[in-house]
Chain A
Amino acid sequence: MNLAERTGRIVLDDLDPAFVESLGNFAAWEYSTFYETLSADSSLTPELRLDLFRSGRGLVMNRAIVRAANKHGIPFEVRRLACNGQSKLMVKVGRVILISEALKTMWDKPKAADYKREISGCYGIIQQLEFDLGDRPKQLLDWSDGVLGVILHGAAGMRFRRSECELGAFILGLPDAEYQSWLMRLDLHDIAMFGVTHSSKPQPAYDEYEQEDRVIVKRRSVRQIERSNG
C-alpha cells in the first residue's frame, strides 16, 4: 500500500460520518444565515455584499465546525500562527486533523502557506502538531501517524443570490507534503450520507468484509417431526 492509499484509508477509517453529516447540515444553515444577514443590511451595496460574503465564508464554516465538534465531543483548538498572527481552527477526528479553506472554484489548487507546509509534513503525516488535552503524559506528546485534511467549501454560484449563496462544494482534500496539489479529494456529502465515499479510492478493510449470516432456521419435514402432547 502506498502512502496515498494509506492516507486515504486512515481518513476513511477515522472520519466519523455522523460528525461529517452534522457538519454538512450546520454549514448549509450557516451559509444561508450569512446570506440573510447580509441581505438584510440596507447599508450595503450589492458589490459590498458579494465581497463580504466571499471573505466571510471562512468564519461561517468555522462556526459550523465548532458546532459539529461540540455536538460530537470532538476536540478542536484555535491556533495562533507564528508566521502571520492569524488564528486557525483545527479539529482532530481520530488520526485526522481538519482545517477548512474556502474555494473560489472547484478547480482550485491548494494554497501554500508556511503553517500548512509545516503541518502537512511528509505526504500528509503530521510531525509537530499536538493538542494538549491533558490526557497524555510527556512521553506520548510526539503524536505522529496523523493525516491533514482540508475541508474545502464554496458557494453554489458566483453571484450574490439566494440560490447561488447556498453551500455548494463540500469536499475533503488531502494535500501532498509540499501543499502543491491534492493527493485525493473526497466528497463529504457521500461520507455523510453513506458513511464512505463512492469514489474508487481505497476503502477501509472492514467495508470489504461482509459478515456471513449462517443462522439458517428451517422447518423440519413432516417425517422428521415427532409430535408430543406437551
Chain B
Amino acid sequence: MLNGDLLGRLNVQMAKGVANFSGKRLTEARLARGLFKNVLGDMIGVSSAAIGRYEADQDKPHPERLEDLASKLSFPIEFFTRPPWPEKIEPIFWRHKAAETKAAREMTEQRMRWLCEIFDVLEQEIEFPDLNVPKLDLPEDFRLISSSMIEEYAEQVRSFWRLRELPIRDMILCVESAGVPVVMLDIPSEKQDGFFFSSQSLHRPFIGVNIHDVTSARARFDVAHELGHLCLHRMVTAEQERNQVSHKILEQQAHRFAGAFLFPRAAFLNEVGVPSLDYFSALKKRWGISIAAMIARSYDLGMIDSDMKTYLYISMSKRKWRGRRREPFDDTMALERPRMLRRGIDALLGAGDYSTQDIRSILCLPPSEIEGILSLSSGSLSAGILSKIDHIARKRAPVTAEDLETGNVITFPGRHVRT
C-alpha cells in the first residue's frame, strides 16, 4: 500500500513530466516507423500500456525518457512538444491493392499530415501558384459518371490547361503548374501506388506517388490517376471512398481518366493505326504511357475486343515485357520530379534569411523525412547543403553607385542588392 509520502513524491514526479508533450505526436512518430506499442516499449524499457498512456495524454514522459523516445524513433525532441496538425484528413483516395495492410497505410498517412504542416509553414513566407483546376459540371452521384463522360472531362481539362492534343512532356509539371503540389515518397510497398487528398484548412489538394521501384511511365500514369480523383470526385464522401464497391468504381473512373488525359481519344485513334506491340512500343516514348496501358486504352476505346486484349498481354509476356521495369524504355525514360515545394525551400534559402539548419528547426522533422517529402536529394539537409543552392551567393552584395561627377564607385555597406 502506498503511503501518503510516496504518493506525494509520485505526483511530484508526474508533475516533472514534460508538460507540453503531445501524445498524438508520439503516435505519429511510432506509426511512421511502423512500430507496435509493445515493440517501442521494449526499445525504451517500458510496457506497451505506458506507451498507450503517453499517446492518450494520460501520462507525460520525463525529459530523459522523452529523449530516449526521440532517439529511438530518430525524431527531434521538439517534434513531440509541437501541436499536431489539427485537421482530420479525409477522404483520402488511396491507390493500392486490397491486400495492403492498415499499418502500411498508417505509415503513409503520417507523411500526409507532415506534408500539410510543411506546406503551411512554407506558405506563411512563400507564395505558391494559385489553384487553377477547372470545376467540371459533374453529376452529384459519382456512379452516374460514364466512360464517355470521362473522356469528355479529360478533354475539357486538357483544353482548360491549353495542352492541345499533344503529348504531355512532364505530367508533374502539368499538375504543379495548376497549383497542385506533388510529393514522391519512397514507400517500400509494391501494393501502394499513390494517394490524393484535399486539405480543407489549406484549401489545397495534394497528390502523392510511391516511387519505390517505379518506372517513369507508371509514375506519370499514377499522377494522372490522382488528377482524375481531383477532377471527378470532389463530391465523394469519406464513407463512399471506404466502401469496397464504391472504391472499385472510383478507381476505375480515375484509371479511365488517366488514360484519356495522357493519350486523348482523337490522338489515340489517329496515331494507333493498328493496335500492335510494335506500334505501342514506338508510341511509348512519345506519349510517356506504358505499353500495357495502351493495350487497355485500345480496349476502352473499342479498338480491340477482350480476346485481342488478352492476346496482346500474352504476347507481352512472350517477349518478357511484363513485370516491373521490363517494358522497352523502362530503364531509359527518366523519372519526372516535383518542383513546387522544392522551389519553396530554394526561395527561402535564396533570400538569405534562412539556413538549412533554420529550415530543419522550423519544420521540426527528421531530415530524412523532410528530404523525402520535399523531393530533396538524400542527405542534402542532414549535411547542411542543398545541391542547387549556392550558399555563398546568399551573401548579398552591397549596393553600389557611380558618382556622376567624379566617376568613382560608391559603396553602401548597409544596403544590399535584392536577389
Q: Which A residues are within 8 Å of any B CB, using their own CB?
A: 13-14, 16, 18, 72-73, 75, 92-95, 133-137, 140, 143-145, 204-206, 209, 211-220, 224-228, 230
Contact = CB atoms under 8 A, between A and B. Distances in A.
B164 interface: yes
Contacts of A214: 129, 177-178
Given A211-B169, A217-B340, A217-B343, A18 B332 contact: yes
Interface of B: 82-83, 121, 124-129, 164, 166-170, 173-174, 176-178, 273-279, 281-283, 285-286, 308, 311-312, 315, 318-319, 321, 328-329, 332, 339-340, 343-344, 346-348, 351
Contacts of B178: 214
Nearest to A73: B328
A206 B166 contact: yes
B279 A94 contact: yes
21 contacts: A73-B321, A94-B282, A95-B279, A135-B276, A135-B315, A135-B318, A136-B274, A137-B311, A140-B274, A143-B276, A144-B274, A206-B286, A209-B164, A209-B166, A214-B129, A215-B177, A215-B340, A219-B125, A219-B348, A220-B124, A220-B125
A95 B177 CA distance: 34
A218 B328 CA distance: 40
A134 B124 contact: no
A206 B83 CA distance: 49
A215 B343 contact: yes
A209 B304 CA distance: 31
B245 to A, nearest CB: 35
A213 B276 CA distance: 34
Interface hub of B273, B278, B312, B315 (most chain A Cβ within 10 A): B278
A218 B126 CA distance: 6
A215 B276 contact: no
B127 A218 contact: yes
Contacts of A204: 286
A136 B321 CA distance: 16
A193 to B, nearest CB: 15
A123 B223 CA distance: 41
Contacts of A219: 125-127, 347-348, 351
Given A13-B282, A211-B169, A135 B277 contact: yes
Contacts of A145: 273-274
A153 to B, nearest CB: 23
Given A72-B328, A218-B127, 16 more contacts: A18-B329, A18-B332, A73-B328, A75-B278, A94-B281, A95-B279, A140-B274, A204-B286, A213-B177, A215-B340, A215-B343, A217-B126, A217-B347, A219-B348, A220-B126, A225-B125
A134 B315 contact: yes
B274 A143 contact: yes
A220 B127 contact: yes
Contacts of B318: 134-135
Contacts of A135: 276-277, 311-312, 315, 318-319
A137 B173 CA distance: 40
A211 B174 contact: yes
Given A18-B332, A216-B129, A94 B283 contact: yes
Given A217-B347, A219-B347, A136 B124 contact: no
B273 A205 contact: no
A122 B283 CA distance: 24
Contact of A92 (B124, B274, B278, B312): B278
